[in-house]
Amino acid sequence: MAAVHTRSMTTPDSPGRCFALVTETYPPQINGVANTLGQLCNGLLARQHRVQLVRPALRDERPGSDSQCGLLERRVRGMPIPGYASLQWGLPSGHQLRRLWQSERPDAVYLATEGPLGWSALRVARRLQIPVISGFHTNFQQYSDHFHLGLLHEPAMRYLRWFHNQTLSTLVASSTQQRELSRLGVNNLCLLGRGVDCSRFHPAHRSNDLRSTWGAADNDLVMLHVGRLSPEKNLTLLAEAWEQVSAQNTSGRKLHLVIVGDGPSRAELQRRLPHAVFTGALTGEPLAAAYASADIFVFPSLTETFGNVVTEAMASGLAVCAFDTAAAHQHIQDRYSGSLAPVAHERVFIENLQWLTEDREGRRSIRLHARHRACQLDWSSIVERFERYLLQAAGRQPALAQAVPSK
């Protein structure tokens, strides 16, 4: 077969390297994966690398390419994910990726998602002998139980295990996830972690005017939940915890519940919690103000790969009530910088929330220590680690990579 000679996006006169990031979700979409990919992409650009961002086109966008300031954005066709109307699978795009990577070859590829787009990117990169690493951002294997897809659990896990074991390494968000995936047979796991923007999420954004719109006086206690309102988020426990704690309130202070986010479970949750404040999804300054204007963060989810909202709440100076997993396990010391319940011990979770509402001094101390801990989790160190993993992968690039057989 004839050889196709490629050129790299990085020339001898340009600093840095060229990396391709392939993902099914990206800002302005609102979720932890999109937020993380946005931080990683911007971080690489700030370090003078060039980035090819491959993602599905949003509903108001057309497939195509744009290039500016070191970023080549390649939008491919997608289709909505059932139950997640705002998110899309990227459709297989092998021909487009082959043309792109044969003309502008990246030094390494990062696959953030395992859907059809990620699968086709893995296939093309391996054929072109481009080094590939992957990230495990979503616990799809745990979601099957919540969406009554138990029969798909084993096939899904086999696919995920196969997919990630085809890459040089798989980056994970937390030590608990690293242990779980190792047990399930995923190899070459590396801890990446997550950062938090402690300037954006800061106690100084507390607003009494915002609290008053929630019906909360200065001396009242506001419990906050932030996240997607969907069955896999264990929202039944959120409702049960609120009902029990508010019914047994002995703190002498009026309690309020504010829920930030949207999703398929919102209507059901509103029926069960008619007195709660539902704000819908928030971003930017309104989200930062919502965090800082609350007092206690209630997070019952057991399906997180990390849970960015936990560290955002800590940075905002909130006392977090969560299970001992993912970000909470990694960054909270029980009764010191938050409260932790053993995984799936719902009674302990509710008791911890009760304690946070009643112990004023304990809650004040926790909020101070939570902020202090969060300020140690800057994104720059995460981006530096991510860059190092990409450069290590690029170093394994075959010596004859400039000549790629055509197909």
Residue-range domain boundaries for the chain: 3-195+379-405, 203-374
Residues 6+ apart with CB under 8 A from 389: 133, 169, 171, 190, 192
Q: What is the pLDDT of residues 4-40, one digit of tens each?
A: 333 344 433 446 899 999 999 999 988 888 999 999 9
**Residue 216: left (phi > 0), alpha (psi -120 to 50), or beta?**
beta
Report pLDDT digits (tens) over 226-246.
Answer: 999 998 899 999 999 999 999
The two tokens of residue 68 are 């500016």
In contact, 385 and 192? CB cutoff 8 Å: yes
pLDDT in the model for residue 251: 84
Residue 261 scores a pLDDT above 50: yes
Q: Are 78 and 113 in contact (CB under 8 A)?
A: no
Q: What is the per-residue pLDDT for 396? A: 79
Task: Indicate if the pLDDT at residue 404 is higher than 70.
Answer: no
Distance CA 114, CA 142 (A): 15
pLDDT in the model for residue 7: 39
Q: What is the pLDDT of residues 199-221, one digit of tens each?
A: 999 999 999 999 999 999 999 99
pLDDT exceeds cutoff 80 at 86:
no
DSSP string, 97-150: HHHHHHHEE-SEEEE---SHHHHHHHHHHHHTT--EEEE----HHHHHHHTT-G
pLDDT tens for each residue of 147-199? 445 557 688 889 999 999 999 999 999 998 999 999 999 999 999 999 999 99
pLDDT value, residue 290: 98
Q: Each residue of 369-391: pLDDT tens digit?
A: 999 999 999 999 999 999 999 99
Instruction: Quote the pLDDT of residue 168.
Output: 97
What pLDDT does 146 receive? 46
The mean of the pLDDT values for the chain is: 89
Mean pLDDT of 286-313: 96
* CATH entry, 203-374, from 3.40.50.620, 3.40.50.2000, 3.40.50.1820, 3.40.50.1100: 3.40.50.2000
* pLDDT above 90: residue 88: no
**Does residue 72 surpass a pLDDT of 70?**
yes
Cα dihedral 401→402→403→404 (10° resolution): 60
Q: Between 357 and 403, where is the model more confident?
A: 357
The yes/no answer on whether domain 3-195+379-405 falls in CATH 3.40.50.2000 is: yes
* Per-residue confidence (pLDDT) for residue 91, from 0 to 100: 86
pLDDT higher than 50, residue 405: no
Residue 106 in this model has a pLDDT that exceeds 50: yes
